[in-house]
Amino acid sequence: MGDQSRFERPPGPDRHSRRGRIFVLTLLAVALIVPFGVYETIPVKQHKATAPPPTPPPDPTAQAIHDLQASLQQAVSQLRALQQTVSSDRAEIKRLSDDVTALTGKLEALQQSYASAQQAPEVQPTEPPRQKRATAR
């Protein structure tokens, strides 16, 4: 029983502060809901009144000019993409060319090494070759 009395809180200022927090949160909720309710009650026509009026349809010449400008911008962006691709391809070709040049140099060095190894005099064996003995019959 002594353990239960340790966990019980005496009624005091904690209850008042909890009530105060609930009251403040309630006031905050009301303060947020009221403007939202007022905004929703405004007729829809007033919301659309702030939108700009529709523009009249352009004449055919202006439309053709606009279409040409759009096509030109698209062509320019495609040209830039192609230029970037060509530039990266050139860099890749240069790298591969350098790799081929390095490999060619190594191959030539190996060929020279192999050719010089074949031209070197053959090493004589340390024992002279044995001669066949003639058999007397």
pLDDT one-digit tens code per residue, 73-82: 999 999 999 9
- pTM reported for the whole predicted model: 0.38
Looking at every residue in the chain, the average pLDDT score rounds to 79
Spatial CB neighbours of 58, under 8 Å, sequence gap ≥ 6: 66
CB 58 within 8 A of CB 66: yes
- Percent of the chain whose predicted confidence (pLDDT) is above 70: 66
Find the farthest-apart pair of alpha carbons in the chain and give their distance in angstroms, rounded: 139
Q: Do the Cβ atoms of 86 and 94 come closer than 8 Å? A: no
| Cα angle: 62, vertex 66, 71; to 5 degrees | 145
